[in-house]
Structure 1
Amino acid sequence: MKPISLYDRTYAFNGVYIMLMTNRLQMLYFFIILPMYLIHPYMFWGIIGVGILSQLNLILLSKWFQSEYSKKGYQGFIELIGKRMVRFFSFLGLFFILLKLIVIVLGYAEIVEQFIFPSMNSKWLILLILLVCFYVASQGMEKTIGFAVIAFFCTAWLILLFYIFFLPPNASVYDLYPLIPFDWPDGSWKSLLLIWSSLSGPEYLICLATWLKPNQNFLKYLSFANAMTILEYLLIFIASLLFFGADYLRFSKFPIVHLARYLQFPFIERIDIILISVLLFNAIFAGALFLLYFYGGLKIAASKLNKQSSKVGFYACFIIIFICLYLSDEWLSQFGMEQSVLLNIQIWSGALTYLLVPSFLFSVMKRKGREKT
Structure 2
Amino acid sequence: MSFKFLFQSIPFFQSQSKNSFITGFQLIFIVNRLQVSYILLLLPAQLISGDKYWVIIIGFLVSQLNLFFISRWLEKGVNMGVPSGIGKIAKLLSYPLVLIGVSYLILKFSIILIGYARVVQLYLLREDRMVSILIILFIIVAYLTYQGVENISRFSVFSFLFSAWIVLIYVELLFSPSITHREFLPIWNGFEKKEDINHILFIISCFSGPELILLLKKRIRPNINIYKYCTIGNSLSLLEFSFLFYFSVVFFGPDYLKKIEYPLVTMARYINSPFVDRIEMFIIPFFMFPLIFSLSLVNLSLYRGLKFIFKFKMNYLSYFLFSFILLFLLLFIETKYLSENDQSEFWLNIYIYFTSVTYIVVPLALYLLKRMGKYES
Instruction: Tell me the TM-score normalized by structure 2.
Output: 0.91
- 1:19 corresponds to which residue? 28
1:6 is aligned, of 6, 12, 34, to 12
Q: How many correspondences in the alignment?
A: 364
Query: Take 2:69 and 2:170, find their aligned partners in 1: how far apart are those partners?
Result: 34
Equivalent pair of 2:212/2:297 in contact (CA under 8 Å):
no
2:217 is aligned, of 198, 203, 209, to 209
> How far did residue 265 of structure 1 move?
1.2
- 1:296 corresponds to which residue? 304
Query: Take 2:178 and 2:235, find their aligned partners in 1: how far apart are those partners?
Result: 27
2:267 is aligned, of 251, 254, 259, to 259
Query: Take 1:183 and 1:83, find their aligned partners in 2: how far apart are those partners?
Result: 43
2:286 is aligned, of 267, 278, 295, to 278
- 1:154 corresponds to which residue? 162
Q: Does 1:356 align with 2:373?
A: no
> How far did residue 331 of structure 1 move?
1.5
Unaligned runs of 5+ in 1: 73-77
SS at match of 2:331: helix
- 1:49 corresponds to which residue? 58
Q: Does 1:93 align with 2:101?
A: yes
**1:145-178 deviations in whole A, cap 9, x for unaligned?**
1111111110011101111232352421221122
Equivalent pair of 1:70/1:209 in contact (CA under 8 Å):
no
Q: Does 1:339 align with 2:339?
A: no
Alignment of 1:37-186 (within 5 A): 37-68=46-77, 83-181=91-189, 184=192, 186=194
1:231 is aligned, of 234, 239, 243, to 239
Residues 144/64 of structure 1: CA separation in 2 closer, same or farther (3 Å cut): same
Root-mean-square deviation (CA, aligned residues, Å) is 2.2
Q: Does 1:311 align with 2:316?
A: yes
- 1:75 corresponds to which residue? none
Query: Take 1:118 and 1:150, find their aligned partners in 2: how far apart are those partners?
Result: 30
> How far did residue 206 of structure 1 move?
0.5
Query: Take 2:244 and 2:298, find their aligned partners in 1: how far apart are those partners?
Result: 26
> How far did residue 84 of structure 1 move?
4.5
> How far did residue 139 of structure 1 move?
1.5
Q: Does 1:32 align with 2:41?
A: yes
Query: Take 2:194 and 2:306, find their aligned partners in 1: how far apart are those partners?
Result: 41
> How far did residue 12 of structure 1 move?
0.8
Query: Take 1:90 and 1:161, find their aligned partners in 2: how far apart are those partners?
Result: 42
Residues 251/331 of structure 1: CA separation in 2 closer, same or farther (3 Å cut): same
Query: Take 1:70 and 1:259, find their aligned partners in 2: how far apart are those partners?
Result: 50
Equivalent AA in structure 2 for residue 243 of structure 1 = F
Query: Take 2:346 and 2:188, find their aligned partners in 1: how far apart are those partners?
Result: 31
> How far did residue 45 of structure 1 move?
1.4
Query: Take 1:61 and 1:182, find their aligned partners in 2: how far apart are those partners?
Result: 32
**1:241-261 deviations in whole A, cap 9, x for unaligned?**
011000010111001101111
> How far did residue 26 of structure 1 move?
0.5
Which piece of structure 1 moves more, 356-365 or 50-59?
A: 50-59
Equivalent pair of 2:79/2:370 in contact (CA under 8 Å):
no
Which piece of structure 1 moves more, 313-322 or 253-262?
A: 313-322
% identical aligned pairs: 27
> How far did residue 183 of structure 1 move?
6.3
Instruction: Tell me the TM-score normalized by structure 1.
Output: 0.92
Equivalent pair of 1:130/1:287 in contact (CA under 8 Å):
no
- 1:188 corresponds to which residue? 196
> How far did residue 335 of structure 1 move?
5.7
Equivalent pair of 2:155/2:293 in contact (CA under 8 Å):
yes
> How far did residue 132 of structure 1 move?
0.8
Which piece of structure 1 moves more, 169-178 or 357-366?
A: 169-178
Query: Take 2:90 and 2:73, find their aligned partners in 1: how far apart are those partners?
Result: 17
Equivalent pair of 2:36/2:291 in contact (CA under 8 Å):
no
Unaligned runs of 5+ in 2: 1-5
**1:110-165 deviations in whole A, cap 9, x for unaligned?**
00000111303211111110011111111222111111111111001110111123
Query: Take 1:22 and 1:188, find their aligned partners in 2: how far apart are those partners?
Result: 26
Query: Take 2:284 and 2:371, find their aligned partners in 1: how far apart are those partners?
Result: 44
